């Protein structure tokens, strides 16, 4: 592990936005009450493929899945892989559950998704080292003020943990539409070149959405409503 200054990476920072938004619709509340307990990540103990999925299938982990569109899209693409997502925003969890249940009509029910309603780093810490095939961090909360930079998910402590949890050859995907975050993230990743190889030969590699990277509602809005550019990064664990 690279030695860097960092805070305790497993402490959930103060939330950037709201933890709860509009009241859940009855159907969403029913999914939270009935489906979530069936597919929730256990609250303690190791988090392994065998425990969650009953076999040693490749594991994917998504930090802060928002409404869950990317996680559900990937899980639909790779039905024999296992997906774990963590999100503290209950409305996001409820939306993700509609994808898992197939209630939105966009995808069939998904048997290969497990959800944690809460801090991603708390769950990640319980995943044995060198277990993950893919790790996703898409449009993390920006915390744009310099004095809040330590609250950004992309920091040395969490990145060391990402490196530890990925298998050699595993992939870390990061996306952002926030230029301050972009600069910060590139600086952080530059300090982790002993752990990660940036899969990039030409500017298009980070300017154009790579295949197998479903767009979320958040990102569609960033592009189409706010006119933001979006940057995509793929790093291979060495
Ligand atoms: C800007 S949104 C992006 C959502 C989604 N990744 C997307 O691209 O559509 C950032 C998300 O990160 C979540 N988040 C913030 N801190 C988190 C943490 N410690 N663990 C898990 N998710 C977190 C927020 O609740 C929010 O849903």
Distance, in Å, from the CA atom of 78 to the CA atom of 74, rounded to the nearest integer, reads 6
17 domain-assigned = yes
The reply to whether ligand 1 has any atom less than 6 angstroms from the CB of 134 is: no
Strands in 196-198's sheet, in edge-to-edge order, are: 113-116, 82-86, 59-63, 132-138, 166-176, 231-237, 196-198
34 domain-assigned = yes
Give 13's pLDDT tier (boundaries 50, 70, 90). low
The reply to whether ligand 1 has any atom less than 6 angstroms from the CB of 85 is: no
- The annotation places the binding site for S-adenosyl-L-methionine at 62, 87, 119, 141
- The annotation places the binding site for substrate at 145, 177, 216-219
- The SS3 of residue 40 is strand
Nearest protein CA to atom 18 of ligand 1, as residue: 119
133 domain-assigned = yes
Counting residues of the chain whose pLDDT is more than 70, the rounded percentage is: 92
Domain of 94 in residue numbering reads as 9-237
Mean pLDDT of the chain: 92
The reply to whether ligand 1 has any atom less than 6 angstroms from the CB of 88 is: yes
**Helices in 35-194 by DSSP H: which ranges?**
36-39, 49-53, 69-77, 90-101, 120-124, 156-165, 179-190
| Entry field: residues in the chain | 238
> Is 179 in the active site?
no
Give 106's pLDDT tier (boundaries 50, 70, 90). low
Domain count along the chain: 1
pLDDT tens figures, 132-178? 999 999 999 999 999 999 999 999 999 999 999 999 999 999 999 99
pLDDT at position 150: 93
Supply the CATH number for residue 103's domain. Answer: 3.40.50.150
> How many whole angstroms from 173 Cα to the centroid of ligand 1?
14
Distance, in Å, from the CA atom of 61 to the CA atom of 137, rounded to the nearest integer, reads 9
pLDDT tens figures, 179-203? 999 999 999 999 999 999 999 999 9
> How many whole angstroms from 64 Cα to the centroid of ligand 1?
3
49 domain-assigned = yes
Distance, in Å, from the CA atom of 126 to the CA atom of 128, rounded to the nearest integer, reads 6
Contact yes or no for 230/78 (Cβ under 8 A): no
1 domain-assigned = no
Residue 20 reports pLDDT greater than 70 = no
pLDDT at position 16: 77
176 domain-assigned = yes
136 domain-assigned = yes
Q: Which residue has the higher pLDDT, 14 or 194?
A: 194
94 domain-assigned = yes
Residue 30's contacts (CB-CB under 8 Å, 6 or more residues apart) are none
Query: Which one of 103, 141, 156, 205 is the catalytic residue?
Result: 141
> How many whole angstroms from 141 Cα to the centroid of ligand 1?
6
pLDDT at position 175: 98
């Amino acid at each position: 592990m690279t030695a860097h200054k960092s805070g305790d990476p497993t402490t959930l920072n103060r939330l950037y936005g709201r933890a709860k938004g509009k009241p859940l619709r009855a159907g969403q509340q029913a999914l939270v009450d009935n489906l979530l307990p069936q597919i929730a990540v256990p609250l303690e103990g190791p988090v392994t493929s065998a425990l969650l999925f009953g076999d040693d299938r490749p594991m994917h982990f998504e930090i802060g899945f928002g409404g869950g569109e990317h996680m559900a899209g990937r899980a639909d693409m790779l039905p024999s892989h296992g997906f774990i997502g963590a999100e503290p925003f209950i409305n996001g969890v409820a939306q993700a559950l509609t994808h898992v249940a197939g209630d939105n009509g966009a995808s069939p029910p998904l048997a290969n998704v497990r959800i944690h309603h809460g801090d991603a780093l708390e769950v990640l810490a319980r995943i044995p080292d060198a277990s993950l095939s893919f790790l996703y961090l898409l449009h993390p909360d920006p915390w744009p003020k310099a004095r809040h930079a330590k609250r950004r998910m992309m920091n040395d402590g969490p990145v060391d943990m990402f490196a530890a949890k990925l298998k050699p050859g595993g992939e870390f995907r990061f996306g952002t539409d926030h230029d301050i975050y972009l600069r910060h993230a590139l600086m952080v990743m530059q300090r982790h070149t002993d752990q990660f190889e940036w899969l990039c030969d030409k500017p298009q590699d980070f300017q154009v959405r790579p295949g197998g990277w479903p767009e979320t509602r958040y990102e569609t809005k960033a592009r189409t409503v706010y006119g933001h550019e979006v940057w995509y990064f793929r790093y291979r664990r060495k």
